[in-house]
Amino acid sequence: MRCLKFINCLIILFITINSLHAQSGMTGLFNPVDSVGLYQMNIDVETFHFSGLLLVKRLNDSTIRLVMNSEMGPKLLDMELYPSRYKLHYAFPKVNHKRFLKTLYDDFGTLFQVRIRNKNLSVEHSQNGYSTTYSPGKKTQIIYTADSLSNLFTSGRVMEGTSVSSKFLYVFEEGTSNISFMKLEHLPFTMIISLTRL
Amino acid sequence: MRQIISSVMFICIALCTMSRVAVAQSYTPVKNTEEFKRLFAARSSAITSIQSDFTQQKSISMLENKIISEGTFTYKRENRLRMEYSKPYKFLFVMDHDQITIGNNQQKSSVSANSNKMYKLISQLTLDCFTGNVLNSKDFDLTISENARVYKLVLIPRQKLLKSLFERIDILISKIDVAVDKIELAETSGDHTTLIFHNKVINNPVNDEVFKIH
């Protein structure tokens, strides 16, 4: 009986440590509430290229607000991202299409780790680090991979069923946990989002 | 007693200066708009090129501070425009007739002006301000006022796409060179963008190569 209790304690301790590891991988993205990150953004969809400025403000632990601006001024998009939905504040008429907005929500929600908030996770260790898998949808899994040295998420992929629908990566300022660059690429069609922190 | 007198005098001088500044900044309607249009059209048609520095101030409701960008501006008759942002990010916008090239640190791309509505809108608006076409545009309701230093054009969009983007556009035109000093875009979203042009050099030769991006 004592032995069983001890094993239970060990299991709980193991799960707790794994969860802490998984959460700590998010440092570098989630800054204090009300802080704003400014990024230079490039989006390529098939042959169409678009660039602009992206402002990201953390509203609380699980919500961020995104504002996209043309470099030459006018606002193109303003939306809040929640773990399972988005709220649109403004969209330039040419980008105001539900499917496109949903794709942007999925992509930025993945990159800024909003979609995985309050979701179940499982952790798998390997020689070089560990992977954390979240399931934000029935068939969707988002897998973040961290290296063992920095303990930060450096790359990942989104799975739809058994196939990879997109892959992404983070680049950090040397010796810090601050992300300087991130990129997400869809695989079934050409769509690449890249963000460079200013 | 002397101290009181000098304090009163200081306050009077300060008040006089402030009221003069206020008068200089307040606007009165231009009495003869047709005469102004003729003056601006004549002056604009004599402009073959403009080179200047610019500052862009972007106010976003979500942010306490403005995003301030700086760069250089080149215009050449007809329909050639180059805006090169250098701070706090590098961005290049070149319009050579109906061909638009945009680029930053990572990539450059060229598109037809008609395929990118946003860039076309902003560049055409800027060009129309400098060429004077904006005065005869059917896309806006126009009011013209002035003070001692500048003419102020207030444009209220009529055209559907412009109306969805901007509540109003204010253009300040210097009385010294009758060229655009400032463009203020008040967006329907509540945000504002202001472009201020400094160190203008008018009609200096500009090589066509400036507008070719290889």
Q: Can you read off the two tokens belonging to residue A143?
A: 């897998």
d(CA A123, CA A18): 7
Going by their DSSP bridges, the two strands A140-147 and A153-160 should be labelled as antiparallel
Q: Can you read off the two tokens belonging to residue B62?
A: 């979500």
Residue B19 lies in a domain: no
Confidence (pLDDT) at B28: 94
B45: phi then psi, degrees, rounded to nearest 5: -70, -20
Q: Verify cis geometry, omega within 30 degrees of 0, for the bond prior to B88.
A: yes
Structural domain A2-197, CATH architecture: Clam (2.50)
Count of CB atoms situated within 10 Å of the CB of A45: 15
Tell me the chain A residues in contact with residue B91 when contact means C-beta distances shorter than 8 Å: 40, 51, 71
Contact A62, A114 (CB under 8 A): yes
Sign of the CA dihedral running A95, A100, A101, A106: negative
d(CA A167, CA A192): 10
Residue B82 lies in a domain: yes
- The ranges of chain B with pLDDT < 50 are 19, 21-23
- Indicate yes or no: CB of A73 within 8 angstroms of CB of B165: no
Length of chain B: 214
B95: phi then psi, degrees, rounded to nearest 5: -115, 120
3-state secondary structure of B33: helix
SS (H, E, C) B54-93: EEEEEECCCCCCCEEEEEEEEEECCCEEEEEEEECCCEEE
* Enclosing domain of residue B52: 29-211
Confidence (pLDDT) at A98: 93
Confidence (pLDDT) at B115: 64
Which residues of A have a CB under 8 Å from any CB of B?
Answer: 36, 38, 40, 42, 48-51, 53, 55, 57, 65, 67, 69-76, 78, 89-90, 92-94, 194, 196, 198
d(CA A108, CA A116): 12
Q: What is the pLDDT along chain A (198 residues), one digit of tens a residue?
A: 555 565 554 444 444 444 433 444 454 455 666 678 889 898 988 877 788 899 999 888 889 999 998 888 788 899 999 998 999 999 888 788 999 999 999 999 999 989 887 777 788 888 778 888 998 888 899 999 988 888 888 999 999 999 999 999 999 888 888 888 999 999 988 999 999 988
Ordered alpha helix ranges (H), A36-190: 98-111
Mutation for B interface: A40, A64, A71, most B CBs within 10 A: A71
Tens of pLDDT, residues B7-17: 666 555 555 55
Contact B145, B152 (CB under 8 A): yes
Residue B178 lies in a domain: yes
Strand partners, A79: A66, A88
Tell me the chain A residues in contact with residue B161 when contact means C-beta distances shorter than 8 Å: 93
Tens of pLDDT, residues B111-140: 666 666 777 778 888 888 888 788 888 889
How many DSSP H helices and E strands does chain B contain? 4, 12
Residue B195 lies in a domain: yes
Number of domains chain B is built from: 1
